[in-house]
């Protein structure tokens, strides 16, 4: 269903943006 697919895509994009925002806000967290 196209509508469900579009909604899922938006949800994924928002989730990725949220994770990227958290990473940018807390850059001092060691990645190792």
Task: Give the residue extent of every domain in the chain.
Answer: 1-32
12: confidence class by pLDDT, cuts 50, 70, 90: very high
Which residue's entry shows tokens 């990645």? 31
11: confidence class by pLDDT, cuts 50, 70, 90: very high
CB-count exposure of residue 18 (10 Å: 0-12, 13-18, 19+): exposed
Q: d(Cα 25, Cα 20) in Å, to the nearest integer?
A: 9
């Amino acid at each position: 269903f196209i509508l469900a697919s579009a909604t899922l895509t938006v949800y994924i994009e928002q989730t990725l943006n949220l994770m990227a925002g958290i990473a940018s806000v807390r850059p001092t967290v060691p990645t190792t």
